[in-house]
Amino acid sequence: MKKVLKKVAGVLLIGVMAMGMLSGCGAKNRETGNKSNTGNTQVTDGVNESGKIIEINFPTSWVGVSSSTEWFNNRLKAFNEQYSDKYKVVVEEIAGDQAYVDKLKVLYSSKSLPDVISAGGYNLIDSMRDQLIDLTSFVDQEWKDSVSEVCWDVNSRDGNIYGIPYSRQVIGYFYNKDLFEKAGIKEPAKTWDEFFEQCDKLLAEGITPVSMDTADSGWLTSLLLGAMIASNDEGEKFMNTSLPKNYNTQEFIDAAGMIQKLFQKYTTQDAIGGKYENGASNFFMEQTAIIANGPWMVSDFYDTFMVEEGFADKIGTAMFPGDVMYNSGKIGFNIAAKSEEQLKASLEFVKFMTSADSQQKMLEMTGDIPADVNVTSDNIYPLINEVVENGNHAARNINDFQSLWYANVVDEISIQYPLLAQGQITPEEFATALTKAAEKN
């Protein structure tokens, strides 16, 4: 999930809420594996009851300009203080979601995955499950009941839990109300035909309609693609299907055709080959009128290092045409610890990072929507509440591609999007390319 640009802390943190509960901690003995710890590291010190330091290896992309950096550093410091007599957390900093995933693929191939993983919503469970711990026995009923069912669904396979949720996806799109008004547009489009009509009105006023990208799985573009696919019952079903292998469906091909049209007429020149940051910057600079993304982006609308004062007042929220919203669980924390004591330490770390208190702070500091249905806050931006409200009233609810599609298919998108955009392949050939990638699994 793309939420790369850093926010300025401007919200208050409020009361501590009860943590989720862990039940029995029995597990078979596992041999200790070697850990790969290259790159920058950040260490928190601690000693357990026996005087032996237990290290928890945790690589993360929540560094630098990631909008989760502030939240993660806050939680890491709090964990350090609470468990200073037991554990040492070794943090490997890997900037960028794709670089993070690529590093984990290398570690997986050498059977040296770190103790704890959180891949920013990317689905690594299906490609790495044989090296991940089945966490089912460690989650008691009280903990399970406190978390939205859609979050457990995406983190489970064959009835077993392989990921501990901490957030869920609620995604629509944002639009610039001033630019819409200039083009004579009164409200967001109800259908995709109307959406393209509005794009023409924006172009007529010299306004580029939509922020798009192709690099790093084309997050902005793929959100639009998924929403287009979900315009009917079959498409909605497809967008909620885990690990689809056939993309040669009419819904997918039609959506790919609309994406090709957007690339060729309604987006910026830097969209082809561009990253998320390019699309976000164009929206912040009011060079585009529309951007698809989640509520974590809202804090950036108030950050005067990125936007002009008062920018947030110009922004509206919308469902995708057809009242479609991404409203689903997100892949959470996975554990690949290789010894009994590392497993115990890793469980404590994951429990802390996914606690109600941590989720509340996440909501306030990043705009991510908590997995825990009981976690709320009055100290968040109104636009975030608008996005959540849109999700609550959506007619069609779908999951995002990074959580459900094979990892190699997600990689293939960045190869095929530029070809589609430049007319070197047809929508049908685009669908076939992704199908061939999926069939390799």
Residue pLDDT, tens place only, 105-116: 999 999 999 999
E-only strand ranges, 108-166: 116-118, 156-157, 160-161
Which of the pair, 24 or 269, is modelled with greater confidence?
A: 269
Contact 67, 16 (CB under 8 A): no
Q: How many Cα atoms within 13 Å fall on the side-chain side of residue 296?
A: 26
Choose between 381 and 209: higher pLDDT.
209
> Which pLDDT band holds residue 149 (cuts at 50, 70, 90)?
confident
Residue range 335-350: average pLDDT? 96
Residues 139 and 165: beta-carbon distance below 8 Å: no
C-alpha 113 chain-centroid distance: 21
- Full-model pTM: 0.70
**Token pair listed for 356:** 């109600």
Beta strand 160-161 with 156-157 is antiparallel
* Band of pLDDT at residue 49, cut at 50, 70 and 90: low
Closest CA to 350 of 201, 85, 138, 146: 138
Give the burial class of 288: count Cβ atoms within 10 A of its Cβ; 0-12 exposed, 13-18 middle, 19 or more buried: buried
CB 355 within 8 A of CB 20: yes
CA distance 383 to 387: 6
Tens of pLDDT, residue by residue over 360-373, are 999 999 888 899 98
The end-to-end CA distance of the chain, in Å, is 23
Higher pLDDT, 226 or 27: 226
Amino acid in position 93: E
List, in sequence order, every beta strand (DSSP E) within 261-342.
288-293, 315-318, 324-329, 333-335
Look at residues 258, 289, 286, 291 and name the one whose alpha carbon lies nearest to residue 274: 291
Residue 267, token pair as written in the block: 């987006």
